[in-house]
Structure 1
Amino acid sequence: MALYYLTVFEKNGEKLCDESFEAQSEQEAKQIGQRKLEENNWVVKTHRCTSAAGKLLLFGR
């Protein structure tokens, strides 16, 4: 398992989410990140999902 990070921001810079999670692969991490965004209605917010090595997996807005 590898560690991934999901961060979501408001336009004013306030962090709505700053959490880590584990996944078996980058593809699984993308799916988990996307699901968390959808569950919390954060899809339209500025967001990013990165690996522990800093690789960008998801980015929006």
Structure 2
Amino acid sequence: MSKYYLTAFGKAGEHLVNETLEATSDNEAKEIGMKKLEEKELLNHSSRIVKSSGGLVHFHP
């Protein structure tokens, strides 16, 4: 399992979500992250999912 970080931002740049995820692949991490954003009604906010090694998995401006 690898660590990923999910972050969502408000319009003023504040963190709305800043969580750690564990997943076996980039695709699984994206699925988990998008589900969490949907549950928190943050799909339309700026967000990103990155690997602990620094790779970008998802970015929504």
Gaps of 5+ in 2: none
User: How large is the RMSD of aligned CA atoms in angstroms?
Assistant: 0.7
Instruction: Provide the TM-score with structure 1 as the length reference.
Output: 0.94
Q: Which stretches of structure 1, 4 residues or longer, exceed 2 Å deviation after superposition? A: none
Residue equivalent to 1:21: 21
Instruction: Provide the TM-score with structure 2 as the length reference.
Output: 0.94
Helix, strand or coil: the match of 1:47? strand
Matching of residue 45 in structure 1 with residue 45 in structure 2: yes
The aligned amino acid for 2:52 is A
Residue equivalent to 1:60: 60
The aligned amino acid for 2:39 is E
Tell me the number of residue pairs that the alignment of Structure 1 and Structure 2 aligns.
61
C-alpha deviation, 1:21, in angstroms:
1.2
Identity %: 44
- How do 1:1-16 residues align onto structure 2 when only pairs under 5 Å count? 1-16=1-16
